[in-house]
Amino acid sequence: MPVDRPSELMVTQEEPHISECPEEAHALDEFNASPKEELNTSSTKMSEGSGVMAKADTKPKAVHHAKKWSGDVENLYRFQQAGYRDEVEYKQVKQVDMVECWPETGFVKKLQRRDNTFYYYNKQRECEDEEVHNVKVYVY
């Protein structure tokens, strides 16, 4: 029996292909690593585009809910819809350096869930105003 899905969201199975997206440099200041973390690079991966550190044991220090929509909240919404806290956790789990995004908007284009199913997102905003308060913003 077919499952109803929103028209904006397509779910498929395919091999991962991550391309570089220079417009990905939109991460919140909370997600940037402190100078102390940058010194220990033995177990650290750094995204060339966003500067987000994906350390093997990185855990958030605090969490709060978004109050209003922004590009960063949009991307967090997309990561959380796919089952991840944020870009940091996605990069840790999937062992990737870059997240594929739309060059026009900088929004995340495609994410791979933990069950290896892909979520594809539109170029336009998908996080409606009534959903913004459900987005969690993690502070590292």
- Provide the pLDDT confidence category of residue 59 given band limits of 50, 70 and 90: confident
Average pLDDT of the segment spanning 106-117: 95
Please, which residues have CB within 8 angstroms of residue 35's CB and are 6 or more apart in sequence? none
**pLDDT score of 72 more than 90:** yes
Q: How far apart are CA 76 and CA 93, in angstroms?
A: 16
pLDDT of residue 47: 37
The predicted model scores a pTM of: 0.63
In DSSP notation, 88-99 reads HHHHHHHT-S--
CB 73 within 8 A of CB 81: no
Dump pLDDT digits (tens) for 98-111: 999 999 999 999 99
- pLDDT tens digits for range 46-56: 333 444 544 56
